[in-house]
Homo-oligomer: A and B are copies of this chain.
Amino acid sequence: MKDKREVHASVKDERLVEKRRDQMIKGAVSLFKQKGFHRTTTREIAKAAGFSIGTLYEYIRTKEDVLYLVCDRIYEQVRLELEELDVGEGTMESLKLGIVHYFQVMDRMQDEVLVMYQEAKSLSKDALPYVLKKEMEMVGMVEGLIQSCVDRGRLDLDSERIHLLAQNVFVQGQMWGFRRWALQKRFSLEDYMNLQIDLLFAGVIGYETHGRTGGVI
């Protein structure tokens, strides 16, 4: 599978395409946040992007293309932000820091993640796999962090547990955004992170060793 699903643009100048799509995506994200994909019209997207409806369609083929570009962009952003996560040294501390970092990114991008979360199902059968693949890559990054702790003997987990743990962490990051109505009333981000890491690692490294007193950050 190719890494990106090409979205057709009539305009040839690649720089311009990039620029216009930036505008478009920025506008669309903000609209999708407010009203969701279905309730947003292409005209609104064009207007929010700062150009005419005709111009919008020079850079996409269908409305769904906008959704795909939005999802793609969000993943890309999240991934860029998480890139450093890759270089975990395999210590528990670096793992925790990685997770904290991930949670912080998810906090900062919670609107975007929410959008993607709720609208991804509107992607065509054609585009969905690309987005899911991206998501798996991100889970893979978390998995990598954990794996390196296992490799260095800091954790004792089989591959299935590693994978599921990664998925749990990943979802807990998203959760902070999509269950904000329940969580953000009750916890500050810091508290949330500390508690989640605590619950997570208490399980992994064993009950007696985990000091509940000090936070990670």
Contact = CB atoms under 8 A, between A and B. Distances in A.
Contact of A165 (B160, B175, B199): B199
Nearest to A139: B182
A190 B215 contact: yes
A82 to B, nearest CB: 17
A38 B97 CA distance: 41
Nearest to A135: B182
B206 A202 contact: yes
* Chief secondary structure at chain A's binding surface: helix
A210 B216 contact: no
How many copies of this chain does the complex contain? Answer: 4
Contacts of A161: 195, 198-199
A210 B198 contact: yes
Of A96, A121, A132, A181, chain B has the most CB atoms within 10 Å of the CB of: A121
Contacts of A132: 181-182
A8 B210 CA distance: 54
Given A118-B121, A206-B210, 12 more contacts: A132-B182, A163-B186, A165-B199, A167-B182, A190-B215, A197-B216, A198-B212, A199-B204, A201-B210, A202-B204, A202-B207, A203-B207
